[in-house]
A and B are shown apart, each in its own frame.
Chain A
Amino acid sequence: MPDQTAVTVRRLSKSYGKVEAVKGVDFEVAPGEVFGFLGPNGAGKTTTISMLCTLVNPTGGSATVAGYDVVRQRDDVRRNIGLVFQDPTLDGYLSAEQNLRFHAELYGVPKSVVGDRIRQVMEMVALWDRKDAKVMTFSGGMKRRLEIARGLLHSPRVLFLDEPTVGLDPQTRSAIWGYINQLRRMEDITIFMTTHYMEEAEYCDRIAIIDHGEIVVIDSPEALKASVGKDRVQIQTGDDARAIEALRERFGLDAAVHEGAVTFAVASGEEFVPRLFAELGMPITSVSVSRPSLDDVFMSYTGSTIRDAEAGDDTMAWMRTMARR
């Protein structure tokens, strides 16, 4: 393999008519890395992942996956990647094992190892004892686990997970993260995933924050949090508008209402709270101070929280649907 990276992306872009879903992004993913693509719905995550998986042709730029060009060496890319989509792509009328056998044949997994490999991946996601059950009887979480097993069946060099935990209950979500961590230890694999759960992005080695089709920043979760440097303070008051004005007048702070509370960032938040109570000049009903989270990172780079960003982006959500077809 001539390429030393698992994924290399250069000025990659995709337009649907006049709408630019991805606007010339650049990044690299090293072999063995867990790389997270973080952004609100409609930011261009799925479009980017679809281009890397050869499902959508880019309108500009280039990308290689496992050393192969995603446009010119499509089959080579496909042999070397595993895919887990947001929406299930299993045949509910077949048993779990039959679904995997189908996949093994389609990918040309050598006959001598098919049986053992199927057993191995199914044991990894704890579904071996359900191998003969029809997939339509599975819960959403079981289906997702089976899809992860299937995505791994042909030993891909890069596993793409598009929102692997969306719509799952917390217990299943943590189980899926358990598998992903186990995977990193067992297999020589690079994981490329998208998520819009901030908590989950922390599991990644590096994160790219994407917003409106552009990469805002790429770094490790720790470095990103350190770069924010400020604590996040949220207060509840009787009159939010007045509170925001008071914060600006008296402390020179930029505050805004996020998640129903007046929110602002300030260095050493705990020490600031006593001053706040003394000098704001209006009653505060509650206060919370938190260390910077990835949510704050997101906010400091994009100017909105991920939930706020999702609320107003119908056009982009529509484009995402287009991209997924």
Chain B
Amino acid sequence: MATETIAVRTPARGAGHDLRAIKVVLHREMLRFVNDRTRMLSMLLQPVLWLFVMGTGLGSLVQGSIPGVDFRTFMYPGMISMTVIMTGMFSAGSIVWDREFGFLREMLVAPVSRGAIVVGKCLGGALVATGQGVIILAMAGLVGIPYSPALMLTLLAEMFLAAFTITAFGVLLAARMKNMQTFFGLMQMAIMPMVFLSGAMFPLANLPSWLHFLTVINPMTYAVDPMRQAVFSHLDVPAQVNAVLNPGVQWFGYQVPVPLELGLVAVLGGVLLMFAVAQFRRAE
């Protein structure tokens, strides 16, 4: 080879460099996702089963008590959340995979802040999860929800927020984990109660007080409720049915407003992110 060697001068660490690192970690997350069709399909299958099989079955049972509303319409926001949660957690879990296969080391020896890597990972997970959620959004018409642009945009934003927080949670879990089995075991253990207690499957109105308490301390409740409120605000539902299916969240009789709910999810996401970064700094 007769060509002149291209000498590269790498810059000292700076905001611009960290931004590039965030972007490339995010980009890789996308590439990985797009290349993995099986994963995309399997992540979709479960919510679709819940929505159209369970939803239809249960719907025929409860039809009488909620006149004018398809039970699947009720379940719809819950299924969006479930999809987003599973996808986000899965993205986070790839950190464990990367550790097992050595690629994490390539990232951790780079002259770039741990924060940039973790933020890139969380944003990547959140975007992938939102992308997955878009497919569920596309099915809105099948369960009687109008394709109103305002509703779609609201749901997208709420999805992204929920996905970011759950990915940050997953990354925190994955920070020290050495093998995939442990991670998935733990993930199952965390997700099941979070989904069950979030109002994704059944309405949170008129629950026994112990169950009500659990749903109120479950962070996912505050991710599911804003989506349901957004959906129901675009439907024409009788007031008493709305009260049953879309009761909102109450703290000792105080109706928690949607902005506060979203704020809680965002703050939680930020805190989890900070802990995750700290874990990676310490692991060094």
A associates with B = yes
The answer to whether A53 touches B6, judged by C-beta atoms less than 8 angstroms apart, is no
B109-136 near A? 1/0 per residue, CB < 8 Å? 1111000000000000000000000000
Determine if B1 and A91 form an interchain contact, defined as CB atoms under 8 angstroms apart. Answer: no
B274 at the interface (CB under 8 A from A): no
Judge if B234 is at the interface, Cβ distance under 8 Å.
no
The count of A-to-B residue pairs whose CB atoms sit within 8 angstroms is 102
How far does the Cβ of B110 sit from chain A's closest Cβ, in whole Å? 4
Take A78-B111, A105-B21, A107-B111 as given contacts and tell me if A92 and B8 are in contact as well, using a CB distance cutoff of 8 Å: no
Contact of A120 among B6, B9, B31 (CB under 8 A): B6
- The reply to whether A123 and B1 contact each other, CB–CB distance below 8 Å, is yes
How many residues of B are in contact with the other chain, CB < 8 A?
33
A78–B107 Cα gap in the complex (Å)?
A: 11
A273 within 8 A of B: no
Chain A: interface size category = 35 or more
Residue numbers in A under 8 Å from B202 (CB-CB): none
- A313 at the binding interface (Cβ < 8 Å): no
Whole-angstrom distance between the alpha carbons of A323 and B124 in the complex?
Answer: 31
The yes or no answer to A94 lying at the interface (CB within 8 A) is yes
Q: Which chain B residues in 61-102 approach chain A with CB under 8 Å?
A: 98, 101-102
- Tell me, in angstroms, the Cα distance from A78 to B106 when the chains sit together: 11
Pick the interface stretch among A109-117, A246-254, A314-322: A109-117
Docked Cα-Cα span, A274 to B12, in Å, equals 68
Whether A155 is near chain B, meaning CB under 8 Å from some CB there, is yes
- Does the CB pair A154–B8 fall under 8 Å? yes
Do residues B102 and A109 form an inter-chain contact, with CB atoms below 8 A?
A: no
A106 within 8 A of B: yes
Whole-angstrom distance between the alpha carbons of A124 and B1 in the complex? 8
Partner of B8 from A55, A101, A117 at Cβ < 8 Å? A117
Bound CA span A98–B36, Å: 16
Interface hub of B6, B8, B10, B21 (most chain A Cβ within 10 A): B8
Q: Which residues of A contact B153 (CB under 8 A)?
A: none
Residue of B nearest to A55 (CB): B109
Least distance between B29 CB and chain A CB atoms (Å): 11
Min CB distance, B279 to chain A, in Å?
A: 15
In contact, B21 and A87 (Cβ under 8 angstroms): no
- Residues in chain A near residue B12, CB distance under 8 A: 75-76, 79
Report chain B residues within 8 Å CB of A195.
none
| B residues whose Cβ falls under 8 Å from a Cβ of A | 1, 3, 5-13, 16-17, 20-21, 23-24, 28, 31-32, 35-36, 98, 101-103, 105-107, 109-112
